[in-house]
Amino acid sequence: MRKFMVAAAVLALMAMPAYAQMGGKRHHGDAAGSKQDNKPKVDEKAYKAALERIPEPKEKYDPWGVARPAEPVKKSK
Q: In this predicted model, what pLDDT tens digit does every residue of 21-53 receive, in sequence order?
A: 666 566 555 555 555 556 677 789 999 999 999
pTM greater than 0.85? no
Q: Tell me how far apart the alpha carbons of residues 45 and 42 are, in angstroms, rounded to a whole number.
A: 9
Distance CA 56, CA 45 (A): 20
Q: Who wins on pLDDT, 62 or 33?
A: 62
Greater confidence (61 vs 4) lies with 4
The pLDDT assigned to 36 comes to: 57
d(CA 68, CA 72): 9
Output b/e per residue, 39-76; b: 16+ Cβ within 10 A: eeeeeeeeeeeeeeeeeeeeeeeeeeeeeeeeeeeeee
Percent of the chain with pLDDT over 90: 29
